[in-house]
Amino acid sequence: MDLSPDNAITPVDGIRTGIGGWTYAPWRDNFYPKGLVQRRELEYASRQLSAIEVNGTYYGAQKPATYAKWRDETPPGFVFTAKAPMRIVQSRTLAKAGPQIEDFIGGIAELGDRLGPLLWQFDQGKPRDRDDFAAFLALLPRETGGRTLRHVLDVRDPDFVDDGYIALAREHGMATVFTDSEEHPSFADVTAGFVYARLMRARAELATGYPRAELVRWAARAREWAAGGEPDDLPRIGSAGGAAVRREVFVFFIGAAKERNPAAAMALHALLAQS
């Protein structure tokens, strides 16, 4: 078992495939090598995948020393994306969340060049005020410590997700999540210079979570996104996003039959690498 930096996975044409988190007991039977101690699971996972979405930060930000530890356990070229804490996104008045935003970003900046996009998830609940939401987006910093910051918006209230929301995301250069799920709004409008997809339909009875034909189709969509296009077989709210430019693409396998997600991510990467 080689955990050296040289054994890291390289994104294919800017397309990263990954999973949510790295601590999940069933993965010790079908992903992690037998006998691997739990404290080395991140080391291993970060060498089989090119990105991991950290969901635990939604429930509470970590100490800067913890982020630094994660940074040092992962190889160059690997990135974390991370959910912002719910204490921020559930604020009564989002426009007043500036100090909390600064505190969160100041800590997670310790990830250094391992820091990818930050995900701001707004669950369905009380109606959102459009002006308050716009003021919140204006608070999100575009850089920290000389590094560019990228932001992803995941608004799960279908009444809020409309042409105005898409326009607001584009105005601020922030991506919107494409969620392949019937539980949340699902749309593939491109609103930023990168694409962020969360695939949530893995099936337990399939070793790779998805049939090969579906993974082949997702590989084709990811390539089209990366090349600056927009797949015509995915739903959109508005018109295409404008000029075609090369983009970084993040494809995460999240939820559903979670035990299959690492295999799905690795299978998609293998398909991309074949071309």
Mean local confidence (pLDDT), 197-206: 97
Residue 12 per-residue DSSP state: B
Contact 33, 7 (CB under 8 A): no
Total residue count of the chain as it appears in this document: 275
The per-residue pLDDT for range 49-86, each reduced to its tens digit, is: 999 999 999 999 999 999 999 999 999 999 999 999 99
User: Is it the case that residue 4 has pLDDT exceeding 80?
Assistant: no
Contacts of 34 (CB under 8 A, 6+ apart): none
* Domain extent listing, the chain: 5-274
- What CATH number belongs to 5-274? 3.20.20.410
User: Is it the case that residue 257 has pLDDT exceeding 70?
Assistant: yes
Supply the DSSP string of 175-233, one letter for each residue: EE-EEE-SSS-------SSEEEEEE----TTSTTSS-HHHHHHHHHHHHHHHTT---TT
The per-residue pLDDT for range 112-129, each reduced to its tens digit, is: 999 999 999 999 887 789
Residue 275 per-residue DSSP state: -
CA distances in angstroms from 50 to 81, 177, 205, 249, listed in the order given: 11, 19, 25, 11
